[in-house]
């Protein structure tokens, strides 16, 4: 396969998330956010870790097969840089060393296991990639963990992380209380004009609200939602409103069982922040990582 893409700062990021394995190859335009390739595989590492403490053989087999395909693809791209980022599930897995060894052997690159605070830091930079002077509270809800950060005039001033991702919350008898207790413990989480919501489940909720509210546009880089309108819509998702379920896309339908938990998380966060606007981002950890890398270059 010939190299058909110009070798201008191609930057590949493989994200070993709690629910999926994704490879994105960015080109050099628009601060590195034009994706030439973007593909993911559902692997649900966090589900295994929550149940047994380790990523199971079935998930590892699926991940291995996809990594082989990713490596073959990268051999045909003039990629200058490959970063492999591992988050909560790999970080917490009892067989972490096995996962890392397998990944590094196949991908021929080192794995960077991010701490929860680092996840929050780079997620906050995805907001800064859109607005370098942003203020507000950033929350990134993944399958295995919840990251929260605070931005003040373009500076990340606080970061925190807890194993309260939507897959972990599903296993709790009272997920709302767990979330409330955690957010209450962060004395720097106070009122902000803007709350930035990052993560696939929250993106699905934002897209659904836009559809049901008659928004004349789709989620591109971000979607600004009025909090007073969003809160009752979250309640409808928690209640399993069939009118919403009937309008799900194929990808949203795959998340429908976890969207109520994600809606509870959004409710608790917004109750603490009392923000006028909830800004749902399409960007996230990977884009924040690439943006920060460009700043340091």
Query: At 93, which CATH number?
Result: 3.30.420.40
How big is the chain by its Cα radius of gyration, in Å?
19
Sign of the alpha-carbon torsion through 153, 86, 253, 270: negative
Same domain, yes or no, for 104 and 130? no
3-state secondary structure 4-61: CCCCCCCEEEEEECCCEEEEEEECCCHHHCCEEEEEEEECCHHHHHHHHCCCCHHHHH
Same domain, yes or no, for 162 and 280? yes
Residue 4 has pLDDT above 60, yes or no: no
Domain boundary among 93, 113, 133: 113
Q: Is 268 helix (H, G, I), strand (E, B) or coil?
A: helix
What are 164-197's pLDDT values in tens digits? 999 889 889 999 999 999 999 999 998 877 899 9
What are 193-238's pLDDT values in tens digits? 789 999 999 999 998 998 888 765 555 668 888 899 999 999 999 9
Percent of residues, the chain, with pLDDT higher than 90 = 70
Q: Rounded to whole angstroms, how far apart are CA atoms 233 and 239?
A: 10
Domain-embedded: residue 296: no
Same domain, yes or no, for 42 and 88? yes
Same domain, yes or no, for 121 and 101? no
pLDDT at residue 193 in the model? 78
Domain-embedded: residue 293: no
Domain-embedded: residue 294: no
Same domain, yes or no, for 144 and 247? yes
Domain-embedded: residue 257: yes
- Count of positions (residues) in the chain: 297
Q: Which candidate, 140, 103, 115, places its Cα nearest to that of 125?
A: 140
Same domain, yes or no, for 138 and 277? yes
Domain boundary among 113, 141, 164: 113
Residue numbers of the domain that contains 243? 116-286
Instruction: Calculate mean pLDDT across residues 109-122.
Output: 98
Same domain, yes or no, for 137 and 161? yes
Same domain, yes or no, for 94 and 234? no
Domain boundary among 86, 113, 140: 113
Domain-embedded: residue 3: no
Same domain, yes or no, for 31 and 60? yes
Same domain, yes or no, for 252 and 277? yes
Instruction: Calculate mean pLDDT across residues 250-255.
Output: 86
Residue 150's φ and ψ, nearest 5 degrees, are: -120, 135
pLDDT at residue 32 in the model? 46
């Amino acid at each position: 396969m010939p190299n058909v893409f110009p070798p201008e700062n191609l930057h590949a990021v493989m994200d070993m998330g709690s629910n999926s394995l994704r490879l994105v190859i960015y080109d050099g335009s628009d601060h590195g956010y034009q994706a030439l390739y973007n593909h993911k595989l559902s692997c649900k590492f966090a589900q295994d870790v929550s149940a047994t403490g380790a990523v199971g053989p079935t998930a590892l087999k699926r991940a291995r097969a996809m990594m082989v395909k990713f490596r073959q693809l990268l051999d045909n791209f003039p990629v200058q840089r490959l970063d492999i980022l591992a988050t909560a599930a790999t970080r917490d897995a009892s067989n972490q060393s096995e996962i890392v060894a397998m990944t590094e052997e196949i991908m021929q690159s080192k794995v960077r296991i991010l701490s929860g605070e680092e996840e929050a830091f780079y997620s906050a930079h995805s907001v800064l990639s859109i607005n370098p002077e942003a203020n507000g509270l950033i929350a990134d809800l993944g399958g295995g963990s919840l990251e929260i950060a605070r931005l003040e005039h373009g500076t990340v001033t606080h970061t925190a992380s807890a194993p309260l991702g939507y897959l972990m919350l599903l296993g709790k008898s009272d997920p709302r209380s767990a979330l409330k207790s955690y957010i209450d413990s962060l004395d720097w989480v106070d009122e902000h004009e803007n709350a930035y919501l990052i993560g696939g489940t929250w993106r699905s909720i934002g897209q659904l609200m836009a559809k049901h509210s008659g928004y004349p546009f789709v989620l591109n880089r971000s979607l600004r939602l009025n909090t007073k309108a969003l809160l009752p819509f979250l309640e409808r998702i928690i209640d399993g409103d069939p009118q919403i379920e009937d309008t799900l896309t194929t990808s949203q339908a795959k998340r429908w069982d976890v969207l109520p938990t994600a809606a509870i998380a959004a409710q608790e966060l917004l109750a603490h922040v009392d923000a006028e606007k909830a800004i749902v981002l399409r960007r996230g950890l990977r884009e924040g990582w690439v943006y920060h890398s460009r700043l340091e270059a």
